[in-house]
Structure 1
Amino acid sequence: MDSFSLGGVEVTRVVEFETPTRPPAAMFADIGPQVWHDNRSWLSPDHWDQDAGLLMTRMQAFVLRSGGATILVDTGVGNGKSRPDTPAFDHRSTDFLARLAAVDVLPEDVDLVVNTHLHADHVGWNTRLVDGEWVPTFPNARYLMPRADHDFWHPDSARPARTAAANANVFDDSVAPVVRAGQAVLWEDIHDIDGALRLEYAPGHTPGSSVLTLRSGGELAVFVGDVLHNPVQIIEPDANSCFCEDPAAARASRRRVLDRAADQGALVFPAHLRGASGARVRRMGSSYAVQSWAPFGERV
Structure 2
Amino acid sequence: MTSTRERQRAAARARLEKEMAQRAEAARKRRQLQASIGAGVALLLVAAGTVWLVASLGDDESETTPQADGADAGVTCVWNEIPAEQRRETTVDVGVPPTTTPPDTGTQVMTLDTNFGEIQVEMDLSEVPCTAASFSHLASQQFWDNTKCHRMFPGMLQCGDPSASGEGYRDTDGTGGPGYQFANENLPVDDRPAYPAGVVAMANSGPDTNGSQFFFIYQDVELSPDYTVLGRVTEGLDVIQEATEAGHDGAFDPSPGGGHPNNDILINSLTVSEPQ
- TM interval, short-chain normalised: under 0.3
Name which one, 1 or 2, has greater alpha-carbon Rg. Answer: 2
The TM-score normalised by the length of structure 2 is: 0.26
The TM-score normalised by the length of structure 1 is: 0.25
